[in-house]
């Protein structure tokens, strides 16, 4: 029996519905039928029917004040189910709490998806000055500490492929060359943690370390982020970096990793 490629089984209407849902990310809190039609290159009537179907199942809701649409409660329910089902997140919570308490900064756990970092959960600092939460965001590997930690143990060949295209420059500190990034990742393996020294956003610094499981595979990253004035080089090297590395190693051990 010849196996058919799974792409042959794709239902176009379901794919379009998922395309609509995926437009509601980042700053796109609300969208209208016309805007979605233009973005997805679908007829307005098709978009309206998809939205009506999703609304009937509570995946989408309508703002009666302006007739725009936004994500519904069902999306939150599914997201929470996803979070609770992942053993990584269950194990990580206490480590996130300890990391936030010891460093005084917001702690995150993230995973790798394609060429992006996806932030799954966080524990916020108690400081009155804090960074905007990254939970749910997809961010670039080359400009984030978590991203670097996630790919630091890949082969040089794999890394060259990852960084072969044009990499976006976010600040004057962003590393955009493959050779420069590969050297940076060698340093991550040497000291046990990665840094983002205002490479994604001016005034913001992050430190991240890889989480590995019983297969020795990197399955996630623990990281902290905070204002640059609270994370000078000396504090990162002497306190915060080693603390993030320790927390990630402790979590790795709980997941069965052994040196």
Give the pLDDT of residue 243.
95
**C-alpha to C-alpha distance for 46 and 17, rounded to whole angstroms:** 10
What is the Cβ-side half-sphere exposure of residue 20, based on CA atoms within 13 angstroms?
A: 33
pTM score: 0.68
Q: Is the pLDDT of residue 172 over 90?
A: yes
Rounded mean pLDDT of 133-155? 89
CA distance 135 to 133: 6
Tell me what pLDDT residue 208 has. Answer: 96
Count of Cβ atoms closer than 10 Å to residue 35 Cβ? 15
Please answer whether residues 120 and 127 qualify as being in contact, where contact means their C-beta atoms are separated by less than 8 angstroms: no
pLDDT above 80: residue 25: no
pLDDT of residue 10: 81
In the predicted model, is pLDDT for residue 189 greater than 90? yes
Mean pLDDT over the full length of the chain: 87
User: Where do the DSSP E strands lie in 41-198?
Assistant: 60-62, 69-71, 106-113, 116-123, 138-140, 194-197
- Could you tell me what percent of the chain has a pLDDT over 70? 89
**114 or 233, which is more confident:** 233
Q: What is the H or E stretch that residue 227 is in?
A: strand 218-227
Q: What is the per-residue pLDDT for 45?
A: 93
Q: What domains, with CATH codes, occur in the chain?
A: 6-77 (1.10.10.10), 86-254 (3.30.450.40)
Average pLDDT over residues 101-113: 90
The pLDDT score that the predictor gives to residue 113 is: 87
> 182 is written with which tokens?
């590969």
In degrees rounded to 5, what are phi and psi of residue 32? -100, 170
Q: Which of the two residues, 154 and 128, has the higher pLDDT score?
A: 154
The DSSP letter of residue 26 is T
Residue 160 has pLDDT above 80, yes or no: yes
pLDDT of residue 240: 94
Higher per-residue pLDDT: 92 or 49: 49
Q: Is the predicted pLDDT of residue 130 greater than 60, yes or no?
A: no
Cα 153 to the chain's mean position, in Å? 18
pLDDT, position 92: 84
DSSP string, 195-223: EEESSSSTTEEEEEEEEE-TTS-EEEEEE
Across 18-27, 96-105, 115-124, 139-148, the highest mean pLDDT is recorded for: 139-148
Mapping DSSP to helix (H, G, I), strand (E, B) and coil, where does residue 80 land?
A: helix
Residue 12 has pLDDT above 50, yes or no: yes
Instruction: For residue 170, give the nearest of 198, 133, 149 by alpha carbon.
Output: 198
Predicted confidence at residue 1, as pLDDT, reads 47
pLDDT bucket at 84, cuts 50 / 70 / 90: low
pLDDT attached to residue 7: 63
pLDDT, tens digit, for every residue of 199-250?
A: 999 999 999 999 998 888 899 999 999 999 999 999 999 999 999 999 999 9
Structure tokens at 121: 């959960």
Angle, CA of 74, 139 and 214, to the nearest 5°:
85
CA distances to 169, 197, 199 from 172, in Å: 7, 11, 7
Cα separation, 100 vs 186, in Å, equals 26
């Amino acid at each position: 029996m010849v196996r058919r490629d799974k792409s042959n089984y794709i239902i176009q209407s379901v794919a379009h519905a998922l395309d609509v849902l995926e437009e509601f990310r980042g700053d796109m809190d609300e969208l209208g039928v016309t805007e979605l039609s233009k973005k997805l290159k679908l007829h307005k009537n098709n978009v309206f029917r998809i939205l009506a179907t999703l609304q009937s199942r509570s995946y989408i809701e309508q703002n009666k004040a302006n007739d725009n649409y936004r994500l519904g409660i069902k999306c939150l329910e599914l997201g929470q189910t996803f979070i609770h089902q992942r053993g990584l997140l269950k194990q990580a919570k206490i480590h996130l709490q300890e990391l936030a308490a010891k460093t005084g900064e917001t702690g995150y756990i993230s995973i790798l998806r394609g060429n992006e970092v996806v932030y799954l959960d966080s524990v916020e600092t108690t400081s009155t000055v804090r960074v905007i939460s990254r939970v749910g965001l997809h961010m670039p590997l080359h400009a984030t500490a978590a991203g670097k930690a996630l790919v630091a143990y890949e082969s040089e060949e794999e890394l060259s492929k990852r960084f072969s295209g044009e990499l976006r420059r976010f600040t004057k500190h962003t590393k955009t060359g493959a050779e420069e990034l590969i050297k940076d990742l060698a340093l991550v393996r040497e000291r046990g943690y990665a840094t983002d020294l205002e490479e994604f956003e001016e005034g913001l610094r992050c430190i991240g370390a890889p989480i590995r499981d019983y297969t020795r595979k990197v399955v996630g990253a623990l990281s902290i982020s905070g204002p640059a004035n609270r994370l000078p080089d000396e504090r990162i090297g002497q306190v915060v970096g080693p603390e993030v590395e320790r927390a990630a190693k402790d979590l790795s051990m709980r997941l069965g990793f052994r040196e």
